A and B are shown apart, each in its own frame.
Chain A
């Protein structure tokens, strides 16, 4: 069965960077785009960016362009999301999600809580 398993919770200080992993299983890793979405406490969903695991191409939401990097490791079927220059308002639950190829995100990771606090 399709699974996306994310790394554990992180606590970071303002100005630091965080790298969250998302390990895929149960399907052909290189055949589906992966997105990252975050959700601040009590707030809605915010799309951050997309990566194509096959060639590694990426596209980021404009607000994250200068501090977000998405990468992948095809040997372990894992994608990574690294966000730098963290601020308190980056405190959120970060999800990876698989693009269905015909619309929407059909499988999601369990979420990784990133807390930014001095």
Chain B
């Protein structure tokens, strides 16, 4: 089973700053990596797929990078509405999908 490890667990940042979230896979997942944002009481929202492609309607301040085992989600110009938990997810490797444990971003 592929294990996804996210760091840090919690990130406190000020409005307008940049947040950098990390996700590491226990083995290579190529670029089969997605990022989600989840706010309290809501379903997750797809932000990034293919490690770096923004999903429909996602602002340009969200960007993803990486391949293999190391991935990064960068949120530039943080806004209060970006307070949420962010999850990475590897998909379709050996027909399994795995989420990381999440990073809570506090603005």
Task: Please give the residue numbers on chain A whose beta carbons come within 8 Å of chain B beta carbons, in ascending order.
Answer: 35, 37, 44-47, 50, 59, 61-62, 95, 97, 100, 102-106, 108-111
Contact = CB atoms under 8 A, between A and B. Distances in A.
Counting chain B residues whose Cβ lies within 8 A of the other chain, the interface size class is: 20 to 34
21 contacts: A37-B99, A44-B85, A44-B99, A45-B87, A46-B99, A47-B96, A47-B99, A50-B97, A61-B96, A62-B1, A103-B32, A103-B50, A104-B36, A104-B49, A104-B89, A105-B34, A105-B36, A105-B44, A105-B46, A106-B46, A108-B44
Contacts, number: 63
Q: Which of A62, A95, A100 has most B Cβ within 10 Å?
A: A100
Contact of A44 (B1, B91, B95, B100): B100
Interface of B: 1, 32, 34, 36, 38, 43-44, 46, 48-50, 53, 55-56, 85, 87, 89, 91-92, 95-102
Contact of A109 (B34, B43, B95, B102): B43
A100 B46 contact: yes
Given A61-B96, A103-B34, A44 B43 contact: no
Nearest to A108: B43
B49 A47 contact: no
Contacts of A97: 43-44
B73 to A, nearest CB: 13
Q: Which of B1, B38, B55, B91 has the most CB of A within 10 A?
A: B91
Contact of B43 (A46, A50, A100, A111): A111
A44 B46 contact: no
Contacts of A59: 95-96
Contact of A104 (B1, B85, B91): B91
A59 B97 CA distance: 10
Contacts of B95: 50, 59
Contacts of B102: 44-45
Shortest beta-carbon contacts, A-B, top 4? A103-B49, A104-B34, A108-B43, A104-B49
